[in-house]
C-alpha cells in the first residue's frame, strides 16, 4: 500500500533534521533560559572540549536529556554536581581510566589523578581541607579548552593567573605557611618578560618548575635540577666548580641562592664582584680568596663588556650616518655570543677558562672595532665629498648667474632678437 510507505518517508524526513542537529538536549535548553550561575554551564558548554568529543551533560552528571519534564530528566541516574572534595574522583572516573580514555584520545595521559594525590593540594584535600585546589579550579568547568589553545586556563600565558587566583590571595592563603608574593615576583622576572612580551611559549611558568598535577615546591636540592632542564651548560659548569660542594654542605639551593626563585631577573656582570649589588659578598668576606677572585672576574668582564658597548655604539653611529655596516654587525653578533659565554663561564669559577674567553672575545672585538672605525671614516669621507662637490656646483652656479646677467646687460645694450628695442635700464 502506498500510504504507509509515504508515512515512513515523512517520518524519516522529519527525523533527518534531528539527526543533522544532534540529539535533543533538554539540559542545555532549560539551563539556557535560566539566570547567572544556572545559565553559565549551558552558555559555556558548546565550546567545551568534551562537547567536541560528542559528550554531553549526562555523561558526567547522569540524567536523561531527552526528557523535557525536569523531574523526568533528573532521573535515578542523575548525579548532580559533585562537592569540591569529590571533584578529583569525579573527573578521574574517566580521566584515570586508561581503557575508557582510549576511546576518545589514546595519546592522553591517565596518571593525573595519581599525581594529584602526591601533590600538596591533594594531600590537603585528603585531610578535609576543601580550600585546596581541585581539577575545576585550574581547568575550569563546562568551558574547558585544550591546554594547547590560548583561551584555556592552562595555556602557558594564562597559568600564572590561574595559580595566582589562590596563591596571590592573602586572605585565602592565611593560615598556610606560604608566601603570597610569588605571582608579583614572577611578573618582574625575565621568564615572565619572555612569556608575556616576546610571546615565547617555551618560557617557564609555575608548572614547569613545580609540576602541575603533582604540584609541590621543589626541595632545596632539587631546584637546580629544575633549572638545568633549560640551562644545562650553566649547571654543568656549576657542578664542576668548588661552589657545588660548598653549597651542598651549607644546604643552600644552587641556582636559587644567587638568582632567586620567582623574581629571577636578567643576570648582569653587576652580580659578580665585591660591591653592594654583587652576590659574592653574601659569603665571601673582604680579604678572602673568594673576594679577590670575585673582584678579578668583575674587572675582566667589565673590560670586555665596556669594549663591546663601545664598538656597538660606533656601529650605531655609522649606521645612523647612512653607512652600510651589516658585515660588521654580523661579526658583532659573534662577539656578543662570546660575551654571553664568558659570563656563563663564571659559574665554573675557572680563572684560566674565563681569562681565555675574555681574551678571545677582545680579539674578535678588535676586528669589529676596526670595521666600525672604517665605517665612520666612510661617513666622514661622504660628507667631505658632498662639501667639495657642493662648492664646485656653487661656483658653477655662480658662473652661470654672472654669465646670464652679463648677457642680459649686453642684450639690453644692443637690443636682443625679438624684443621691441632697447629698453631703458
Partner 1 sequence: MKRRSVIDIFLGGSLAATIAAFLYPVIRYILPVKTTGATQTSVTAAQAGELPPNAAKVFKFGSAPAVLVNTAEGTLVALSAVCTHLTCTVRYDGDTGTLFCPCHNGRFDLAGNVLSGPPPRPLETYHVEVSGADIIVSRKS
Partner 2 sequence: MAKSIGPNIWKFLDERFMLSDLVAFGKKKTVPEHRRSFWYFFGGICLFLTGIQVATGVLLLLYYTPSVDAAHESVQFIMSEVKFGWLIRSVHSWTANLLIGLLFVHMFSTFFLKAYRKPRELTWITGFILLVLFMAFGFSGYLLPWNELSYFATRVGTDIAGSLPLIGPWLKSVILGGPEVSQATLSRFFWFHVALLPLAALILIGLHVLLVQTLGMSKPIGEKGKKEIPFFPDFLYKDALGWTVILVLIGVLCVFMPWEIGTKADPLAPTPLGIKPEWYFTFMFSTLKLVPAHILSLEGEKLAILAFMAGGLLWLLVPFLDRRAGREERSPLFTWIGAALAAYIVTMTVLTYTLPKL
Site string for partner 1, 243-262 (x = CB under 8 A): --------------------
Separation of alpha carbons 411 and 261, rounded Å: 91
If the CB atoms of residues 15 and 381 are measured against partner 1, the closer one turns out to be: 381
Taking the CA of residue 399 as centre, how many other CA atoms within 13 Å lie in the half-sphere pointing to its CB? 6
Site string for partner 1, 172-201 (x = CB under 8 A): ----------------------------xx
If the CB atoms of residues 111 and 324 are measured against partner 2, the closer one turns out to be: 324
Is 232 a residue that touches partner 1 (CB under 8 A)?
yes
Separation of alpha carbons 16 and 8, rounded Å: 12
Distance linking the first and last C-alpha atoms of the chain: 122
**Shortest reach from residue 335's CB to partner 1, in Å:** 12
Phi, psi of 370 (to 5 degrees): -60, -45
Separation of alpha carbons 340 and 309, rounded Å: 13
Count of CB atoms within 10 A of residue 15's CB?
Answer: 10
Coil, strand or helix at 93? helix
Separation of alpha carbons 317 and 379, rounded Å: 10
Is 388 a residue that touches partner 1 (CB under 8 A)?
yes
Rounded to whole angstroms, what are the CA distances from 210 to 145, 207, 229?
22, 5, 13
Q: Residue 232's binding partner, choosing from partner 1, partner 2, none, with beta-carbon cut-off 5 to 8 A by kind?
A: partner 1
Binder of partner 1 out of 188, 399, 408, 414 (CB under 8 A): 399
Dihedral (CA of 329, 332, 333, 336) sign? negative
Element (H, E) at 89: helix 87-95
Q: Residue 420's binding partner, choosing from partner 1, partner 2, none, with beta-carbon cut-off 5 to 8 A by kind?
A: partner 2
If the CB atoms of residues 104 and 196 are measured against partner 1, the closer one turns out to be: 196
If the CB atoms of residues 236 and 275 are measured against partner 1, the closer one turns out to be: 236
If the CB atoms of residues 106 and 420 are measured against partner 2, the closer one turns out to be: 420
Stretch that binds partner 1, among 84-92, 247-255, 364-372, 384-392 (CB under 8 A): 384-392
Separation of alpha carbons 97 and 93, rounded Å: 7
Separation of alpha carbons 216 and 119, rounded Å: 6
Is 370 a residue that touches partner 1 (CB under 8 A)?
no
Binder of partner 1 out of 6, 12, 18, 402 (CB under 8 A): 402
If the CB atoms of residues 89 and 390 are measured against partner 2, the closer one turns out to be: 390
Backbone Cα Rg of the chain: 37
Phi-psi region at 140: left, alpha or beta (left = phi > 0; alpha = psi -120 to 50): left
If the CB atoms of residues 78 and 330 are measured against partner 2, the closer one turns out to be: 330
**Cell numbers found for residue 98:** 586508561
How many amino acids of this chain bind partner 1 (CB under 8 A)?
30
Separation of alpha carbons 210 and 242, rounded Å: 28
Is 233 a residue that touches partner 1 (CB under 8 A)?
yes
Nearest by Cα to 342 from 369, 308, 388, 373? 308
Is 208 a residue that touches partner 1 (CB under 8 A)?
no
Is 225 a residue that touches partner 1 (CB under 8 A)?
no
Stretch that binds partner 1, among 258-266, 305-313, 392-400, 416-424 (CB under 8 A): 392-400
Binder of partner 1 out of 202, 219, 282, 425 (CB under 8 A): 202
**Shortest reach from residue 325's CB to partner 2, in Å:** 8
Q: Residue 231's binding partner, choosing from partner 1, partner 2, none, with beta-carbon cut-off 5 to 8 A by kind?
A: partner 1
Is 337 a residue that touches partner 1 (CB under 8 A)?
yes
**How are the residues of the chain apportioned to helix, strand and coil, as percentages rounded to the nearest 5?**
65, 0, 35
**Residues that bind partner 1 in the complex, under the rule CB under 8 A:** 200-203, 229-233, 326-327, 329-330, 334, 337, 340-341, 388-389, 392-393, 395-396, 398-400, 402-403, 406, 410
Amino acid at each position: 500500500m502506498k500510504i504507509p510507505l509515504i508515512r515512513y518517508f515523512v517520518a524519516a524526513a522529519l527525523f533527518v533534521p534531528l539527526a543533522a542537529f544532534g540529539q535533543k538536549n533538554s539540559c542545555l535548553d532549560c539551563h539556557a533560559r535560566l539566570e547567572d550561575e544556572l545559565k553559565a554551564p549551558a552558555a559555556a558548554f558548546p565550546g567545551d572540549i568534551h562537547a567536541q568529543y560528542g559528550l554531553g551533560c549526562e555523561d558526567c552528571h547522569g540524567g536523561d536529556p531527552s526528557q523535557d519534564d525536569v523531574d523526568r530528566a533528573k532521573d535515578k541516574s542523575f548525579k548532580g554536581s559533585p562537592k569540591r572534595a569529590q571533584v578529583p574522583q569525579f573527573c578521574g572516573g574517566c580521566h584515570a581510566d586508561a581503557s575508557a580514555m582510549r576511546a576518545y584520545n589514546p595519546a592522553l595521559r591517565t596518571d593525573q589523578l595519581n599525581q594529584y594525590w602526591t601533590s600538596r593540594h591533594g594531600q590537603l584535600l585528603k585531610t578535609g581541607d576543601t580550600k585546596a585546589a581541585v581539577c575545576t579550579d585550574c581547568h575550569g568547568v563546562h568551558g574547558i579548552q585544550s591546554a594547547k589553545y590560548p583561551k584555556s586556563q592552562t595555556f602557558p600565558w594564562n597559568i600564572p593567573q590561574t595559580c595566582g587566583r589562590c596563591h596571590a590571595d592573602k586572605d585565602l592563603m592565611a593560615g598556610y605557611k606560604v608566601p603570597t608574593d610569588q605571582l608579583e615576583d614572577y611578573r618582574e622576572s625575565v621568564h615572565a618578560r619572555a612569556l608575556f612580551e616576546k610571546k615565547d611559549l617555551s618560557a617557564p611558568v609555575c608548572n614547569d618548575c613545580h609540576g602541575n598535577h603533582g604540584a609541590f615546591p621543589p626541595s632545596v636540592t632539587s631546584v637546580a635540577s629544575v633549572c638545568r632542564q633549560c640551562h644545562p651548560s650553566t649547571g654543568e659548569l656549576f657542578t664542576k666548580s668548588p661552589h657545588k660542594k660548598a653549597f651542598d654542605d651549607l644546604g643552600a639551593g644552587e641556582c636559587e641562592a644567587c638568582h632567586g626563585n620567582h623574581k629571577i631577573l636578567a643576570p648582569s656582570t653587576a652580580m659578580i664582584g665585591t660591591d653592594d649589588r654583587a652576590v659574592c659578598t653574601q659569603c665571601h668576606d673582604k680579604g678572602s680568596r673568594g673576594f679577590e677572585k670575585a673582584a678579578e672576574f668583575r674587572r675582566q668582564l667589565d673590560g670586555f663588556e665596556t669594549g663591546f658597548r663601545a664598538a656597538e655604539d660606533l656601529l650605531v653611529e655609522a649606521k645612523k650616518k647612512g653607512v652600510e655596516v651589516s658585515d660588521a654587525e654580523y661579526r658583532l653578533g659573534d662577539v656578543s655570543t662570546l660575551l654571553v659565554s664568558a659570563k656563563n663561564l663564571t659559574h665554573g669559577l675557572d680563572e684560566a677558562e674565563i681569562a681565555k674567553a675574555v681574551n678571545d672575545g677582545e680579539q674578535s672585538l678588535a676586528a669589529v672595532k676596526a670595521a666600525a672605525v672604517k665605517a665612520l671614516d666612510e661617513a666622514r669621507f661622504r660628507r667631505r665629498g658632498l662639501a667639495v662637490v657642493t662648492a664646485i656646483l656653487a661656483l658653477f652656479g655662480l658662473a652661470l648667474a654672472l654669465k646670464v646677467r652679463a648677457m642680459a646687460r649686453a642684450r639690453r645694450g644692443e637690443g636682443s632678437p625679438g624684443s621691441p628695442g632697447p629698453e631703458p635700464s
